[in-house]
Amino acid sequence: MKVDELPVDERIKKIIRDRGIEGLYPPQAEALKSGVLEGKNLVLAIPTASGKTLVSEIIMVNKLLKEGGKAVYLVPLKALAEEKYREFREWESLGVRVAVTTGDYDSTDEWLGKYDIIVATAEKFDSLLRHSPRWIKEVKLVVADEVHLIGSYDRGATLEMILSHMLGRAQILALSATIGNAEELAEWLDAELIVSDWRPVELRKGVFHLGTLFWEDGKIDRYPENWESLAVDAVKRGKQALVFVSTRQSAEKEAVSLSSKISRLLTKPELRELEQLISQIEDNPTTEKLKMALKGGVAFHHAGLGRAERTLIEDAFREGIIKVITATPTLSAGLNLPAFRVIIRDTKRYTDFGWTDIPVLEIQQMMGRAGRPKYDKVGEAIIVARTEDPKGLLGKYIQGKPEKLFSMLANEQAFRGQVLALITNFGVSNFRELIGFLERTFYAHQRKDTASLEYKAKDIVYFLIENEFIDIDLENNFIPLPLGKRTSQLYIDPLTAKKFKDAFPALEKNPNPFGIFQLIASTPDMATLNASRREMEDYLDLAYELEGNLYISIPDYEDPRFQGFLGQVKTAKVLLDWINEVPEVRIYETYNIDPGDLYRILELADWLMYSLVELYRLFEPKEDVLNYLSSLHLRLRHGVREELLELVTLPNIGRKRARALYNAGFRTREDIMRAKVKDLLEVEGIGIKIVEGLFKHLGVEMPGEAKEAEKKDGRKKGGTLDEFLK
């Protein structure tokens, strides 16, 4: 179908043509003819890179121009939200306003009322629904990207509940990878279904075993025995490769190993470009290995990398500067990063249940990354058989069908929070209504029988009553209590809230960071670190040394909670170091964690500390304790000792710059207002841009001499927030 033939607003067609797109791909045309433009729900299950985003853009903008209201676009990852936001902003020329929202779960975000397309993570939108901002009723279309994540154990329930809430209230467009039971999903959503395996670039699939490459069509190619030769061969042919492995360690190890082989194939200008890339990366133990690999045009990509490094790597790969990326599957979960050849080194991974096969759905998502539209005629996806039987892999992953999707609503942790929210935020006022709502879920649609779910819901309701989240009156009506309402809005597990509440009496008597951080680390909402065998004794010693500061007694060696407790102590110690201004690099080294881990711990701890303060307010708070907690929260947010709290509220002043200012004698806002520009510029990390920002914020006029200094100094010392956070 030609773009011109689309039955949509002319202005939409013009923007698409301006992108250089004249015709629609067959599944796109089919989707747009399905009735979705007239308001029908649609499940679109087609491979990655076959243009789902464009379809959803057309549907969203067409609807907004015709009917007004809002469209919400749900994604699974923050990084993806940013990516989509940047893409969608192109429609602002038609007067469609686009916003993105991800963090801060305790907010109505009324500001979003001014926007038409709202890109959000599923968790964020779920939390917004609980706060019921005024604009929610204007939402006329919900696009759920990667909707197959309904089957993900820890995140599926969120997406399922959002769709259960919005079903019937807004049009639904669900975008999915190919799954085994798309029909079932479509039936649930009362949606049209388009399934297709059409791809813009042809995909060839095969299995590699000890030097022999068996293609699915029966052809055979020979290579040197080691699978690395597949990556080297791709680069020799002027192409790129993505290698998927199951652990961070393997990603790093393979990257370094491949790098030595690939560097020989690089030209001088290519090596220079890589040097230039390396110079933009800051030093820490993780990036040390990264830099080593990058010298030969290879990078690893995993959740341990900081945001800045990940973006650098993704961009450099798109530009062709990096030739090979070794990645853990985080990369296959939606980032738009195709390569000519995809090599899947591992089809098993270690889980709580030991080594398990990676689902077909996931492997097929990885394979789908093969082939760069516009650059490659075909893409190649190759699975490496190491100990496995190559025929078995071919049958299972290449000729086989992806699994069915199963509802994960019954996952207790997620379900607990959802049941509470239904009662406290969504007006479900008795057990009958609760069951009535659950009957609208995918779980009910799929199982036909909600008996076991009802049973679980009952247990949860008892738990909620017993712990004063809700009450029940003589007619068996639910009465939301402040603890329940607040817990739900804070978007924390009721079990977390219970732990906080139980600890308050002890905390009031002895508020201290170690006790509070261990408490936070003991909640199910925290990504708590593991204490390795080698570390166990140290953390046990530390726990005994600081025993008086804990709000629980130290579990016995034989207690099943013992191991977990030591991990909590380790996590608490990381947080203690952080608020005592230990440099990040030292933290990575001491605890053997990656920057991405520290970032995640801090982000979660910040949210949990905020929730702790908010819940404490409900229990006749003592003012001094409340002040203590609030100030500890700020220290945690900024990673500083108390004396820097005033300085870190200033623009672009993080923990390092605040410490440098403080040590140079600038300890308060007044000190800075009175300071001479030249003296401020003497301080480590402070450039003219920063001074300008500070003065502007404090309402001080920049003296003339400073303009001169800017010319000399401005380029030398940077000043953006990004730069500082790097």
For ligand ADP, the binding residues (CB under 6 A) are 21, 23-25, 28, 48-54, 336, 373
The DSSP symbol for 556 reads: P
> Which CB sits closer to ligand ADP, 72 or 612?
72
Nearest distance in Å: CB 79, ligand ADP:
14
The DSSP symbol for 702 reads: P
Nearest distance in Å: CB 98, ligand ADP:
16
> Which CB sits closer to ligand ADP, 375 or 724?
375
Element (H, E) at 66: helix 52-67
Nearest distance in Å: CB 99, ligand ADP:
20
> Which CB sits closer to ligand ADP, 369 or 570?
369
Pick from 436, 410, 407, 404: nearest CA to 160 = 407
The two tokens of residue 341 are 């050849």
SS3 content of the chain, % helix, strand, coil (to 5): 55, 15, 35
Q: Are 181 and 404 in contact (CB under 8 A)?
A: yes
Q: What's at 148, amino acid-wise?
A: H
> Which CB sits closer to ligand ADP, 25 or 85?
25
Pick from 253, 203, 201: nearest CA to 382 = 203
- DSSP string of 399-457, one letter each residue: SSPPPPP---TT-HHHHHHHHHHHHHTS---SHHHHHHHHTTSHHHHHHS--HHHHHHH
Q: What's at 551, amino acid-wise?
A: Y
Determine whether 382 is exposed, middle or buried from the number of CB atoms within 10 Å of its CB (0-12, 13-18, 19+).
buried
Q: How far apart are CA 550 and CA 569, in angstroms?
A: 10
The DSSP symbol for 551 reads: S
Pick from 225, 253, 230: nearest CA to 241 = 230
Nearest distance in Å: CB 476, ligand ADP:
48
446 marked ligand binding residue = no
Nearest distance in Å: CB 23, ligand ADP:
6
Nearest distance in Å: CB 54, ligand ADP:
4
Nearest distance in Å: CB 56, ligand ADP:
8
Q: How far apart are CA 173 and CA 137, in angstroms?
A: 18
Mapped onto helix, strand or coil, the DSSP state of residue 467 is coil
Nearest distance in Å: CB 200, ligand ADP:
6
> Which CB sits closer to ligand ADP, 51 or 306?
51
> Which CB sits closer to ligand ADP, 28 or 332?
28
Q: How far apart are CA 332 and CA 335, in angstroms?
A: 6
Nearest distance in Å: CB 436, ligand ADP:
36
Nearest distance in Å: CB 336, ligand ADP:
5
The strand ranges marked E within 216-353 are 220-222, 241-244, 298-301, 324-327, 341-344, 348-351
Pick from 433, 438, 370: nearest CA to 398 = 370
> Which CB sits closer to ligand ADP, 28 or 488?
28
Element (H, E) at 595: helix 595-616
From residue 148, give the alpha-carbon distance in Å to each of 123, 246, 346, 637: 16, 21, 22, 34
Nearest distance in Å: CB 722, ligand ADP:
26
> Which CB sits closer to ligand ADP, 50 or 441?
50
Q: What's at 40, amino acid-wise?
A: K
> For the range 383-387, what are the long-range contacts, defined as Cβ-Cβ under 8 Å and sequence gap of 24 or more?
383/205, 383/206, 383/207, 383/208, 383/344, 383/347, 384/207, 384/208, 384/209, 384/227, 384/230, 384/343, 384/344, 384/345, 384/346, 385/207, 385/208, 385/209, 386/227, 386/345
> Which CB sits closer to ligand ADP, 48 or 246?
48
Determine whether 510 is exposed, middle or buried from the number of CB atoms within 10 Å of its CB (0-12, 13-18, 19+).
exposed
From residue 393, give the alpha-carbon distance in Å to each of 205, 214, 237, 387: 11, 11, 27, 11
Q: Are 419 and 443 in contact (CB under 8 A)?
A: no
> Which CB sits closer to ligand ADP, 334 or 595?
334
> Which CB sits closer to ligand ADP, 373 or 693?
373
> Which CB sits closer to ligand ADP, 147 or 520?
147
Q: How far apart are CA 319 and CA 259, in angstroms?
A: 18
Nearest distance in Å: CB 28, ligand ADP:
6
Nearest distance in Å: CB 88, ligand ADP:
12
> Which CB sits closer to ligand ADP, 336 or 430?
336
Q: Are 164 and 441 in contact (CB under 8 A)?
A: yes
> For the range 313-320, what are the long-range contacts, defined as Cβ-Cβ under 8 Å and sequence gap of 24 or more?
316/277, 317/240, 320/240
**Annotated binding residues for ATP:** 28
Q: State the binding site.
A: 28
